[in-house]
């Protein structure tokens, strides 16, 4: 059994063949899916998918869609935030939906320098919400590994979480692991040119990573420009197993256990 620890199956990209997506994934052993929320407008679609027994969901506000979020970046007290504020809506949604397994996707994307101040305000506000609720956090971190690790250490989250699509150095990986996070390994590490990342993957401790596709984005090597989907998680698993010189069955078992631990999932491997 494989768990796709990060896939956006609510996105419109899958509206035409969503049922077939699940069939193809199941055919190669991908049996559970973690779907993160990205904007308030998409939360209903995410929650609707969460009614499936094979899907677990997260709710959050993604930095890439900053222009779609409404929030008071200076106000920490929910009583002082207007009713249409997305941070207040997030708190209310988490309280109303105890089935949500994590807060996310949230984080920092340093490619967009002009919005960094607002990104940090939104990110830290979401971390505070997660801390109060003892929820793990799913973090989007692009070109900001050191700064995000420092922030996480300062806030001190009790439930850790997932560093989605990790592509940093060994030292950065160690820092996140020490903070109680696991690293999401996906399409990026299947490319031969990602030599530093591939070396890191080979040396990670067995408890330190999960597998993910980030569907419909980040396709593995050989599928550039094509829509990604959870069935390709099997290719990612094979690549990780090869790099680590580990039998595929062993890798499946440990990554399933890691994802179940991080997200408190009531799933067990069929192998």
In tens, the pLDDT along 185-207 reads 999 999 999 999 999 999 999 99
The per-residue pLDDT for 267 is 76
pLDDT at 73 (0 to 100): 62
**Alpha-carbon distance 231 to 205, whole Å?**
25
44: in domain: yes
Q: Is 269 domain-assigned? A: no
Q: Residue 144 sits in which domain range?
A: 2-263
Tell me, yes or no, whether 21 lies in a domain.
yes
**Domain annotation covers residue 135:** yes
Does residue 33 lie in a domain region?
Answer: yes
CA angle 213–196–227, rounded 5-degree value? 25
Q: What sign does the CA torsion over 167, 173, 177, 180 have?
A: negative
Q: Is residue 157 part of a domain?
A: yes
pLDDT at 84: 80
CB 168 within 8 A of CB 201: no
Q: The CATH number of the domain where 88 resides is what?
A: 3.20.20.140
**The predicted structure's pLDDT at residue 96:** 98
Task: Look at the chain and report how many structural domains it folds into.
Answer: 1
DSSP code of 227? P
Low-confidence residues of the chain, pLDDT below 50? 75-81, 269-271
Establish if 270 belongs to a structural domain: no
**CA–CA separation, 86 vs 92, rounded Å?**
10
* pTM higher than the cut 0.85: yes
Structure token pair of residue 58: 């997260």
pLDDT computed for residue 271 by the predictor:
39
Residue 268 in domain: no
**Dihedral through CA 189, CA 208, CA 238, CA 184, nearest 10?**
-50
């Amino acid at each position: 059994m494989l768990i796709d620890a990060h896939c956006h199956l609510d996105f419109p990209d899958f509206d035409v063949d969503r049922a077939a997506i699940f069939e193809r994934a199941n055919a190669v052993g991908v049996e559970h899916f973690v779907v993160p929320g990205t904007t308030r407008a998409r939360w209903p679609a995410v929650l609707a998918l969460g009614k499936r027994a094979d899907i677990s969901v997260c709710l959050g506000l993604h930095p890439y869609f900053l222009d779609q979020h409404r929030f008071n970046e200076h106000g920490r007290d929910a009583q002082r935030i207007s009713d249409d504020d997305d941070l207040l809506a997030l708190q209310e949604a988490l309280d109303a939906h105890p089935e949500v397994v994590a807060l996310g996707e949230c984080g920092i994307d340093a490619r967009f320098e002009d919005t960094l101040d607002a990104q940090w305000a939104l990110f830290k506000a979401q971390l505070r919400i997660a801390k109060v609720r003892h929820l793990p956090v799913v973090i989007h971190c692009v070109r900001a590994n050191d700064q995000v690790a420092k922030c996480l250490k300062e806030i001190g989250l009790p439930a850790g979480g997932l560093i989605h699509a990790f592509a940093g150095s060994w030292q950065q990986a160690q820092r996140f692991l020490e903070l109680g996070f696991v690293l999401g390994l996906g399409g990026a590490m299947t490319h031969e040119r990602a030599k530093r990342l591939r070396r890191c993957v080979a040396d990670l401790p067995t408890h330190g990573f999960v597998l993910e596709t980030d569907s419909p984005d980040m396709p593995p090597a050989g599928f550039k420009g094509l829509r990604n989907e959870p069935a390709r998680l099997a290719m990612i698993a094979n690549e990780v197993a090869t790099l680590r010189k580990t039998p595929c069955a062993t890798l499946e078992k440990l990554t399933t256990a890691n994802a179940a631990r991080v997200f408190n999932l009531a799933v067990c491997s069929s192998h």
